[in-house]
A and B are shown apart, each in its own frame.
Chain A
Amino acid sequence: MKSLADLEAIRARTLENINMRKDENAARVVIGMATCGIAAGARPVMLAFMEEIQKRNLQHVTVSQTGCIGMCRYEPMLDVILPGQEKVTYIHVKPEMVPRIVSEHIVNGHPVEEYTIGAAKD
């Protein structure tokens, strides 16, 4: 059973990491979660990012959401913004694609070109 008492220990462990995440050098993942994004499957993608970040214990990554940016046909969409670089927009993202985006782009700095909006054929 999970109990609220667990949170005390989590607090102690977490306090120092938080400042790192607030850091301007943090990488940002911004997922479209309006009606269109949600209907297309944004929720499992967001949860996959959280899981992958936890698995790799990445301290410099934040995941947040945004609304509809008007290209609903490409949902689920997300932006990866590395500090000092232009944002990269991924389209039709599925949870299975998330580990590759995290390892190749967020960790190693090479966008996964074939998943980006630049590779869209329609």
Chain B
Amino acid sequence: MRDLSLHLLDLAQNSITAGASLVTVRLTLEDSGMLTMQLEDNGKGMSPELLQRVTSPFATTRTTRKVGLGIPMMKENAEKAGGTFTLESEEGKGTVLTASMDTKNIDCLPMGDLSGTLLSLMLTNPLYPDFLIEGKSPQGEGTFDTREVRAALGSDIPFNEPSVAAWLKEALDEEMKSIFGGVLI
């Protein structure tokens, strides 16, 4: 993975596959430069047994092949950048994935195209689930909630309608730039 936003795009897919109706992305950048990326979902969760082996590249729920690299690569990229990786999960309740990294560490991946990633998530999951983005940095904080967007737009219009997609792109760009512009993206 070339940047952190690509990890986000990849890992959020696990929440969607787990049947979550709401995926929450929390991005917090501290004054110290520590960045915490958290993904919380209300999907089906993992059994203690799966939770234990899921950071292994040889664990996957897929049946066609025996490797699953998304989670182990995130763990490695967090830990080599002076951060930590934790996964909490309960069957029937959901999963919380937390990765932190020191953005001042030379091995820390860049953030990459954050708003493009969030947009991709919304466009490829145009009707379901909802996404809540909570961002915080030394220069500000804000949220982006697709439940609010659906309430205004009507839940029958998918996000991948071109005019909706164009609105989402600009709205996400504005929001992410106001929170992280100049400090992370």
On A, residues with C-beta under 8 Å from B are: 1-2, 4-8, 10-11, 13-15, 17-18, 21, 31, 33-35, 38-39, 43-44, 46-47, 50, 53-54, 57, 62-65, 68, 70
A-B pair number, CB within 8 angstroms: 93
Contacts of A6 in B (CB 8 A): 167
Q: How far is the CA of A68 from the CA of B10 in the complex (A)?
A: 12
A-contacting 9-mer, from B24-32, B98-106, B112-120: B112-120
Say if the beta carbon of B157 comes within 8 Å of chain A. Answer: yes
A18 x B157 contact (CB < 8 A): yes
What is the total number of residues of chain B having a CB less than 8 Å from a CB of chain A? 39
Interface residue from B10, B113, B163, B171 paired with A13 (Cβ < 8 Å): B163
CB contact list, B164-181 vs A, under 8 A? 164-167, 170-171, 174
Contacts of A31 in B (CB 8 A): 124
B6 x A47 contact (CB < 8 A): no
B120 x A47 contact (CB < 8 A): yes
Residue of A nearest to B175 (CB): A2
Nearest CB of B to A75, in Å? 13
B2 x A11 contact (CB < 8 A): no
B10 x A35 contact (CB < 8 A): yes
Residue of A nearest to B126 (CB): A64
Q: How far is the CA of A81 from the CA of B160 in the complex (A)?
A: 18
